[in-house]
Amino acid sequence: MKQLIECVPNFSEGNDMSIIKQITQQIESVEGVKLLDVDPGKATNRTVVTFVGEPDAVVEAAFLAIQKAAELIDMSKHTGEHPRMGATDVCPFIPIANITMEETVEYSKKLAKKVGEALDISVFLYESSATDSRWKNLANIRSGEYEKMASKLQTPTFNPDFGPKKLHVRAGVTAIGARDFLIAYNVNLNTTSVRRANAVAFDVREAGRVLREGDPITGKIKRDADGEAVRVAGSCKAVKGIGWYIEEYGVAQVSMNLTDIKATPLHKAFEACCLSANARGMRVTGSELVGLMPLQVMLDAGKYFLKQQNRSTGVDEAEIIKIAVKTMGLDELSPFDPKKKIIEYLLAEDEHTPLLDMDLRAFANETASESPAPGGGSIAAYVGVLGVSLATMVANLSSHKRGWDARWEEFSDYAAEGQVFKDKLLHLVDEDTKSFNGIMDSFKLPKGSDAEKAARSAAIQSATKYAVEVPLQVMQTALATLPLIKLMATIGNPNSITDAGVGAMCARTAVYGAYLNVKINLGGLKDQAYVQKIEAEANELLQKAMEMEAAVLVLVEAAM
């Protein structure tokens, strides 16, 4: 499995698109990385770039981008609303798949060393990469911003990890490190007052606010026995925030970094801002995502808001995301396209799913054509999709049935379970056709020499084994839907009991259809121990499916 690192460098240019393009072209020139997002901000004069790839490729792409930014951006002439200290202000690495934080730290150090030595830029390691505890917090490095960096670097306590102990006048200072996934998120207020936006930010952010004697703005700072400023913590853990005014939009915002989305999910930060704003006579009018977010963040938010409405969360993923977008007003300032803002959707752009991309008529026409694929395996998987979709429909109808209000959450959970099965079976529709095509491709391999014949034979066996395993997954998944279908026939909305019955027949057909594909593909395998094992499992799955279908149909017939 590939190791994947996400890199989110912040460049101090948000207005000149030709400069931004030259920087991102460096990233795109490296094989093994995918540019996911480029998010320029005019008022902040800053662009957040997101790309993902295998570790060594990410290091190379990041270095080339930092090099180009140092060439094109002159920090001595830079102004912007956002705190900054370098042409490449920060360059964090985030572990995404099959890689630990410790490994990610080592790659960040590899990049930092190269930048410091090759580009003569002062580099500080921050967050999880920090070698000095002070630098775990980026704000401690960036305080005073670019304008104070020259003098700070002359002090004995401000020592970069790599590069010179003097300011690179054009490129400034850069922080490189590894961190957990961070969401940059701004909440819009119906005010133009930075002071009032800051008041909300102080209510919400973990660091809270410093207590003062008398006047909360001008009063003397309260200090404890050790002389440290006394602070009142904000309501949200792992949230950093400030208030600012965005001239581009004519509104004040609470600008936040959510550094641990488990501690404070996006929707909780949004609600905390709403509570604070309301208490201070203001209103939250919407919000803005800077950069990208994981899919689960949006699903958690959408489900949270659906539950607040006592509505089922067992609806399609797109509907859950729509609820999240509308509730948090993520589309207030500009259109919010989930395909461009959610990491998994951007990565899925390269995934080939021709069958799922068809409408019903096109799918039927393709099945009926002279092409051998899609065949019975893909059709079996799709029939399974229809079966569990019917059960999910019954659960959702039951969740919203008048007079059943006390049980809405129970049926919502059943519907959500059905959605999981549905999505897995949908994936297997295209996967079965891919497995068939894999066999066909292996038969086309050259067989002129003994070595080629051996390689071709091994490829055929491998492809055939995969063509067994895919329909076996269809069998396993479709069978797993039958307990849910039976439950909906037993306790679900009685007006929909026949829908549960049809769902059971579809599920059994999916199991039986996939069984036929397992059997025929087993005939092409030489590994007889594997053949016997899979055949025994398939027979058992089919028998259970037939028994469960019969049990559901007894319930349906008895109710009519």
In the residue annotation, 120 being an active-site residue is answered as no
| Helix pair angle (295-308, 317-328), 10° resolution | 80
User: What pLDDT shows up at residue 560?
Assistant: 81
CATH H-level, domain 4-178: superfamily: Formiminotransferase, N-terminal subdomain (3.30.990.10)
- Res. 157: pLDDT tops 90: yes
Pick the catalytic residue from 78, 82, 168, 267.
Answer: 82
**518-522-523-524 Cα dihedral, nearest 10 degrees:** 120
The number of CA neighbours under 13 Å toward the Cβ of 161 is 25
**CB burial class (10 A; 0-12, 13-18, 19+) of residue 129?**
buried
Q: 133-149 burial by CB neighbour count: b if 16+ within 10 A, else e?
A: eebbebeebbeebbeeb
- CATH 3.30.990.10 domain extents, the chain: 4-178
pLDDT tens for 453-497 read 999 999 999 999 999 999 999 999 999 999 999 999 999 999 999
Rounded CA gap, 14 and 244, in Å?
17
Q: How many CB atoms lie within 10 A of CB 152?
A: 16
Question: Which fold is adopted by the domain 352-559?
Answer: Four Helix Bundle (Hemerythrin (Met), subunit A) (1.20.120)
In the residue annotation, 432 being an active-site residue is answered as yes
pLDDT tens for 205-223 read 999 998 887 766 667 878 8
Phi first, then psi, for residue 238 (nearest 5°) are: 55, 35
CATH number belonging to domain 183-348: 3.30.70.670
Q: Whole-model pTM?
A: 0.75
pLDDT tens for 424-445 read 999 999 999 899 889 999 999 9
- CATH 1.20.120.680 domain extents, the chain: 352-559
| Pair type for strands 209-210 and 231-232 | antiparallel
User: What pLDDT shows up at residue 268?
Assistant: 98
User: What pLDDT shows up at residue 210?
Assistant: 84
Q: Mean per-residue pLDDT for 336-357?
A: 83
User: What pLDDT shows up at residue 4?
Assistant: 87
Pick the catalytic residue from 39, 300, 430, 432.
Answer: 432
Query: Across-strand partners of 184?
Result: 257, 290
- CATH 3.30.70.670 domain extents, the chain: 183-348
